[in-house]
A and B are shown apart, each in its own frame.
Chain A
Amino acid sequence: MDYLLALAATGVIMGIIYALMAMGLTLIFSILNVINFAHGEFYMLGGYFSYFLLTLFTGLNPFVAVFLSGLLVSVIGLIFEFFFLRPMHLGRIERPPEYAVLITFGLSFFLQNLALAVFGPYPHRPTSFFSGAVDLGVVRVSTDRLTASVLSLILLGLLLLLINKTWIGKALQAVSQNKDAAAVVGINPLRMNTIAFSLGVGLAAIAGALLAPSFSIMPDVGAVPSIRSYVIIVLGGMGSIPGSILGGVLIGLVESLGAGYFPDPSRGLTYKTSFGLIIFALVLLFRPRGFFGRKER
C-alpha cells in the first residue's frame, strides 16, 4: 500500500508540473489556433536563462531568476509572434496551417542548435531552491521538486484567475471562441494573439526554470516534455485550461503507476511514456474531443 501511495504521490507531483508546461501550449492553441512545435525549446531556454542569471549574479534569489527567465522568454515569444505569426493572421500567408507547422518546427531546430552552439553540449544545473529532501510519510521527495510542484500549482491558480476574472482573460476567451465577434465588441484579436503567445511560452520557460534544479538542462532537454504536452492538451481537450490541468495530473499518475507496476519490471521505465500514449489513444477513440474539448460548430 505504501508503495502504491508513494507512486501516486510522485505521479501527482510530476503531473502538476506537466500541467504548467501544457498550459502554455493550450493557451497558444486556443487563441492562435497554432500548435507551437517549439514549445519544448522555450522550456529549455527558461532553464538556461535561470542557470545563467544565477551564475552571473551570484546571490540572486532562485525564485527571482525563475520569474526573470519567464519574462525574458516572453519577450522573445512576443517578438517571434509579431514578426513570424502575425502575417499569418493578417492573411498574408497563402497556406496558414502548413506555414504555422513549418515556422514553429523551424524555430525548434534553430533554438536547439543555437543552444548547442552558445551554451555547449554539457548538462548544467542551476542552484537549488532548497537543499535536501522532504519526508511526506509515504515518500521522500526532493525539496526542489516539491517546490516546483507547489509553485506550479500557485501559477496555475493565478492563471485561472487571470483567465476568468480579468478583462484580458475574458478578452482572450472571447477571441478563442469567436475572433470576429470579439473584434466587433472592441477586442483586438491580433493583440490577444501576441499576449497569448508571449504568456504561453513564458509559462513553458517558467516550467523549465522550475524543473532545471531537479532534471538539469541540455539543448535537447525540451523534447520529451513537449511531446508530453501535446498528449496532455489533446487529452484535456484542445484549448481547455481545466482539461490541461486534469490531463497533466492524469499523465503523471499513469506514467508513475505504469512504470511501477508493469509486469516486466525491467521494461517498466522504458515504456513509461507509452503508458500515457495508451490513455491518449483510448481517449481519442472514445471521446475524440478530450475531457473538456469544445464541439466544433
Chain B
Amino acid sequence: MFRKKNLMGLLALLLVMTVLAGCAPEVVTETVRETVEVTVKETVVVKEEVVVTPEEEAMPEADTILIGAVGPLSAPGSFQAGTEMRNATEMAVDEINDAGGILGKQVELIFGDTEGLPERGTAVVERLITQNNVVGLTGEYHSGVGLTEIEVAHKYGVPFVQAETWADEITSSGYPEIFRIAPSIDFYSSIATNYIAEVGWEKIVFVVENSDYGHLQSESWVAQLEALGITDVEVFFADADTEDFTPILQRIMQDPPDMLAGVITGIGNSRMLRQACDLGLAPTAETAYYASVDSQYPEFWENVGDCGQYVFFTYVGLPESLWNEKTGGFIAAYEERYKQAPGGSAMAAYDGTYLLLNAIEDAGSTDSQAIIDALETIKYTGVMGDFWFEYTADNPVPASEPAWMWHQWPTPNTYIIQYTEVDQSAGDAPVVYPTERANGDLYTSP
C-alpha cells in the first residue's frame, strides 16, 4: 500500500515538475538547441531545417534584447561579490528599461551562476550564447572562470565586457570580443608593491588564496618587489575556506615580517586577520597588515571587530572623495533597493552593463561585430569615471605597452585605503596611495 502511495507521490511530483518546467521560458530555447544540434550533425540535406527552426524564426521577431551576465552566486565562488554584481546588473537593466529600453526594445537579462568554477563558467556561457541567444555578455568575478569563458565567447564571436576579472591573460589574449574594465593583475599589483616600497618595508610575507587568482597575484607581487629591490619576500598558500590559519601564523611568528598580507577572498579574509590579531602578530607597531579586497564589505567589521583598525587594502572602485554625480546617484539607489552599501564589484558590474547596452545602442543593431566596433570607439562616463578603450583594432597595442592593454580600460580606479578607526566604512577611510590622490597619511601605525 505504502509503495503504491510512494509511486503515486513520485508520479505526482514528476507531473508537477514537468508542468513547472513547461512554464519556464528556457524550454523553448531547449527545443531550439536540440534542433540546432541535429542540423549541425546532419548532412546538407537537413540544412533546410535550420532555416525553419524556431531559433532562426524567433531571432528577428524578438521584441526584447537579451543580454547575459555571469558571476558566482554560490560556493565555492565568492558569492558575496557575485550577489553584488547580480544586484547591480539588474539595477542597470531596470533603469534602462524604465527609460524606454534600447533600440526601442526592452532589455532582458539572464544572470548565470558560475559558482566560481571554470567548468561551470564554460557551461553557463555556452548555454547563454547557444540556447538563450544573448547578444552580449558582461560580469564575472573569478579570473580562473573568466579565462575559460572568454574562449567560449571568442568561439562564437559574442562581445563580452569582463567586469571584475584581473588575470592579465583576459585581455592579453587579444580576442576581439573581449573587453575589460577591471585592473589587470599586473596593474593592480603595482599599486601595492609601489606602496610597500614607498613606506619602506623590507621583509614581506604573503598568505594568498590557493587559486588562479592567488598564484597569478603572488607571482606578480614577487616579481615587482624584486624589481623594486625588495627580495625578502615569502609566499604561503591557503585554501579560501581554511578555518584555522594558526599553524602557519605561528610559523611566521618565528621571524615576524614588516608587513603580513592575507590575500584570501571571502570568509578567509576575516578569519586570517582575527587569528593573526589574536596571536599578537599583526597589525602591530612591528608588523603591518594588508588584507584582501573583501575588506571593503560592511560585514568586515562584524567579523573582525577591533582587529580591523590599521588594516589597509587595495580598493578597486571609487572612494567617496572621488565620486562623480553618477556615483552618488548609483550608491543612493543601490542602498535604497538592497538596503546595503555597494562595494567595488557592484560598481564594476553596473558600469559593465551600461557599457554593453550603450554599445548596442551606438551600434544600432544586435549584430556582434557592430557591438564590438561600437565598444572599441565608446566614450562613456560611468559611476567609476570616464571609460574608453585605448588599444583596439584600429590602434593596436604598441611593443612598448604590455599586451594586456588590448581592449583594457586604461585607468581603472585602484587605491590603497587604510582603516584608521574601528567601524570605519570603506568610503570614509582615507586613501593613502597613490600619493597624488591621497587624502590621508601614507601609513598610520598602531
Contacts and interface: CB of A to CB of B under 8 A. Distances in A.
B303 A121 contact: no
Interface string A153-186: 0000000000000000000000000000000000
A255 B234 CA distance: 22
Interface in B269-301: 270-271, 274-275, 278-280, 297, 299
Contact of A3 (B76, B254, B275): B254
B267 A269 contact: no
A116 B80 CA distance: 10
Contacts of B246: 10, 256
Nearest to A220: B75
Nearest to A257: B247
B10 to A, nearest CB: 12
B244 interface: yes
A270 interface: yes
Given A267-B237, A270-B238, A123 B247 contact: no
B251 A219 contact: no
Interface string B174-203: 000000000000000000000000000000
Contacts of B247: 7, 10, 255-260, 268-269, 272
B250 interface: yes
A140 interface: yes
B241 interface: yes
B86 to A, nearest CB: 10
Contact of B241 (A10, A131, A220, A257): A220
B245 interface: yes
Interface string A248-287: 0000000111111000011111101000000000000000
A268 B248 contact: yes
Contacts of A259: 247-248
Interface string B127-162: 000000000000000000000000000000000000
A83 interface: no
A123 B270 contact: yes
B299 A124 contact: yes
A145 B305 CA distance: 15
A256 B303 CA distance: 23
B261 to A, nearest CB: 14
Interface residues of B, number: 44
B349 to A, nearest CB: 15
B337 to A, nearest CB: 15
B250 A270 contact: no
Contacts of B280: 133, 140
Contacts of B303: 123-125, 216
A92 B237 contact: no
Contacts of A14: 244
A92 B2 contact: yes
A15 to B, nearest CB: 11
A6 interface: yes
B63 interface: no
Contact of B83 (A7, A87, A121, A265): A121
A122 B237 contact: no
A53 interface: no
A82 B238 CA distance: 41
A13 B342 CA distance: 38
A139 B74 CA distance: 36
A296 interface: no
B244 A124 contact: no
A96 B351 CA distance: 53
Contacts of B248: 259-260, 265, 268-269
A140 B299 contact: no
B210 interface: yes
A133 B281 CA distance: 12
Interface in B403-427: none
Contacts of A56: none
Contacts of B275: 142
Counting from the closest, the 9 A-B pairs by CB-CB distance are A259-B247, A220-B75, A142-B278, A121-B79, A269-B238, A122-B299, A260-B247, A123-B267, A133-B278
19 contacts: A7-B247, A10-B246, A14-B244, A113-B74, A116-B74, A121-B80, A121-B83, A122-B297, A122-B299, A139-B250, A142-B275, A215-B244, A220-B75, A259-B248, A268-B247, A269-B239, A269-B248, A270-B238, A272-B247
Given A128-B305, A266-B235, 15 more contacts: A10-B247, A10-B250, A94-B3, A113-B74, A121-B82, A141-B278, A142-B275, A260-B248, A260-B250, A266-B234, A268-B251, A269-B237, A269-B238, A270-B237, A270-B239
Interface of A: 3, 6-7, 10, 14, 87, 92, 94, 112-113, 116, 120-125, 128, 131, 133, 139-142, 145, 214-216, 218-221, 223-225, 255-260, 265-270, 272
